Each structure stands twice: as C-alpha cells, then as structure tokens.
Amino acid sequence: MFFLKISDPIQYIHHHLHFLQINIKNFKIIHDYDTVPAYLTLNIDSILFSLILGSTFLTFFFITYKKLSFNYPTNFQVGVEMIINFVNKNVQDICPTNNLLIAPLALTVFMWILLMNTMDLIPIDFIPYLFNKFFGLNYCRIVPSADVNITLSMALSIFILIIYFSCKNKGIIGFIKELVTHPFHHFCFYCFNFILESISLFAKPISLALRLFGNMYAGEMIFILISGFLPWWLQWTLSVPWSIFHILVIFLQAFIFMILTIVYLSIAMKKNND
C-alpha cells in the first residue's frame, strides 16, 4: 500500500482489481481514462503469469526427467513421482479406458492450476511494486486463475476435447442422435431432449470455469480487503490465518478441476462401448 501512495481504501481496492491491459488494435497499454471495447483488450498480466507458471512446471518436470535416478533419487524427484502417482491413481480409478491423453492432461491441468492458485499467497503489493519500480507499470494482477478469461479458456479446451472424443466414439451423427434421444426416447420429446442435453453439455465448461474463478477471486478479494483496510502492523493477524486456510482452497480447486476433467473425458470415451 505504501508504494501506491493511496490513502483511500476504496481506491486501493479498485487499483488492485485493475488488469494490465493492452489495446490489440494499436498494442498500447490501456489506462483508466481510456474507453476501449472489451473485445479489443488483452489482460497481458494474466497471460504473462500463466505462461511463466506453465513454463516453470514443464521446465522442472523436464529437468527431473533428465536427471532421473533409480538408485539415488533426489527429494525433488521423489516429490514429482508422488504427484505423478497421485494423478495417475485418480485417472485409473475414474477412467478405465486406456487413453494416452487423459493422464498427461490431468497432470498438466492439476499442476498448472495449482501454481496459478499459489500466486495468491504472495503478498498483494510485492510483485505490483516490482512492476511499478522497474517497468513503470501501475497495474498488475498476479493470480491468473482469478481472471475469468483464463479459466474460461482452460475450460473451453476441455470442452473441445469432450466434443472431439464424443464424435470420435459415436460419430457426428451418433453424437447428435444421442443429444436428441436422451433421456426420453419417444419422438415427441426429441426437441425437449436436445434443449435439455445441450444445456447440460454447455454447463460443463461454464461450471468448470466459474467455480475456479469464483473461489480464487473471492480469496484474492479478501487479501486486498485486509491490506486495504488494516494498518500494516495489524494485517498479519488476519492475513496469516486466511493464508493457512486458503492453502486448502488452492489445492482443492486444482484437484476439483482435474477430477472433473477426467470424469467428463472418461464419459465421452466410455460411449465407445455403448
């Protein structure tokens, strides 16, 4: 709160909820006084931290693979193996189909979201201060999963895979027929079935995205409120207990997204045996 020199808590909250955006028409940073349509903006802070965290995950796992040792495993290797076994067990328990995509996808989803969520534990002013000091940028939000655009993009990728595997196993005609004939098989209900099944289908990515976004946005908002309304010497009394509790939320949201991804894809693949 010190580097911003904002005494009004409301203004402080507004500042921390503002993304670092660029206008894709002229690639210039958008300021408060600029009026730019939403479809012409990119939240470059969310994209930047998503790419950094994704690259970090891939780099560390690749290094672990290159330095793999069966006789003298390092602590980091043991940790990576525990994560892989944890994800693989969930995949085997939920999806009996032997598919080479689901396990790597589940691992990627789990680790990527876990790292993005963990950014919420970094002091709220620390990284924005560095961006302001070294790059002269006034805005920076560091929790990509608190940006609905990021969560919707991830959920849309899962949705595309659901459609792909459903069409692959049933065929396009078979997939459409399934939407029309379930749950009621009488031809009088075909229109009703299609509406009902379409809503159920589109609800999957929307619920995935909004569940993750809502929980992480709420957690970020509480940290902002603590930092904005309490003096610095008193903030730890609330921020520390909330951080401890928030660790559970961070892990749980990554776990739920991963489990639902496995479930949705396993349902699409099981249709091959119908």
- Active-site option among 88, 132, 169, 211: 211
- Active-site option among 50, 117, 145, 215: 215
Instruction: Give the C-alpha separation, 178 to 182, whole Å.
Output: 6
- 83 in a structural domain: yes
Percent of the chain with pLDDT over 70: 95
- 205 in a structural domain: yes
- 14 in a structural domain: no
- Total domains, the chain: 1
| pLDDT of 272 over the 50 cut | no
| pLDDT of 108 over the 80 cut | yes
- 15 in a structural domain: no
pLDDT, one tens digit per residue, over 39-73 is 789 999 999 999 999 999 999 999 998 988 888 88
Q: Can you tell me the mean pLDDT for 204-228? A: 93
| pLDDT of 239 over the 80 cut | yes
Q: How confident is the model at residue 235 (pLDDT cuts 50, 70, 90)?
A: confident
Instruction: Give the C-alpha separation, 53 to 145, whole Å.
Output: 12
- Residue 158, strand partner residues: none
pLDDT in the model for residue 188: 84
Determine how many CB atoms are found less than 10 A away from the CB of residue 60.
14
Do 273 and 104 form a contact (C-beta atoms < 8 A)?
no
pLDDT, one tens digit per residue, over 156-190 is 999 999 999 999 888 888 888 888 888 888 788 88
Q: Can you tell me the mean pLDDT for 231-239? A: 84
| pLDDT of 38 over the 90 cut | no
E strands, 139-264, in order: none
- Active-site option among 198, 200, 207, 272: 207
Distance of CA 164 to CAs 49, 110, 153, 177, 202, Å? 29, 21, 17, 15, 14
pLDDT in the model for residue 1: 41
Percent of the chain with pLDDT over 90: 55
Q: Can you tell me the mean pLDDT for 130-147? A: 91
pLDDT, one tens digit per residue, over 240-257 is 999 999 999 999 999 999
| pLDDT of 6 over the 70 cut | no
pLDDT in the model for residue 3: 46
Tell me which residue range forms the domain holding 194.
45-273
Pairing of strands 41-43, 21-23: antiparallel
Instruction: Give the C-alpha separation, 228 to 91, whole Å.
Output: 42
pLDDT in the model for residue 7: 62
- 152 in a structural domain: yes
- 2 in a structural domain: no
Q: Is 117 among the catalytic positions? A: no
Q: Is 239 among the catalytic positions? A: no
Q: Is 55 among the catalytic positions? A: no
pLDDT in the model for residue 2: 41
Q: Can you tell me the mean pLDDT for 221-241? A: 87
Question: Has this prediction a pTM greater than 0.75?
Answer: yes
pLDDT in the model for residue 30: 83
DSSP state at residue 187: G
- 80 in a structural domain: yes
What's the mean per-residue pLDDT of the chain?
89
pLDDT in the model for residue 195: 92
- 129 in a structural domain: yes
Mean pLDDT check: name the lowest of 4-13, 27-36, 165-174, 247-256.
Answer: 4-13
pLDDT in the model for residue 271: 56
